Amino acid sequence: MKFWIPILLLLASFQAVSATDIEREKLQQIANEMDVLTQLVHEAKSYSSETDPQIFEYQKLLWNLTEIRGAIQRHVNQQTTAPRSVKELMVLKGQ
């Protein structure tokens, strides 16, 4: 039994690394989509009129998109060296 514990812990850590890699990949996809959203906002702004009864605040929307994308990029680029908790690993494993 003692022989299997280190092997199981090693296998669990590999699964945790792959989950982090998948998470980062998905977050990077979201960041890329944020670039597309930013372009769409610029296009929409170019069609807006200052004589409209309600003026949409495109600058605030662009600022928000920039902040969200920056937060995603910081998380993706963050170096994670801290080990995951056993409880977290069990959730990843599906138990």
The tens digit of pLDDT for each residue in 23-51 reads 888 999 999 999 999 999 999 999 988 88
Q: How many CA atoms lie within 13 A of 40 on its CB side?
A: 7
Phi, psi of 46 (to 5 degrees): -65, -20
Query: Residue 95: exposed, middle, or buried by beta-carbon count in 10 A (0-12, 13-18, 19+)?
Result: exposed
**CA 64 and chain centroid, separation:** 15
Q: What share of the chain is helix, strand, coil (3-state, %, to 5)?
A: 75, 0, 25
Q: Between these two residues, 35 and 91, which has the higher pLDDT value?
A: 35
Domain ranges of the chain: 4-93
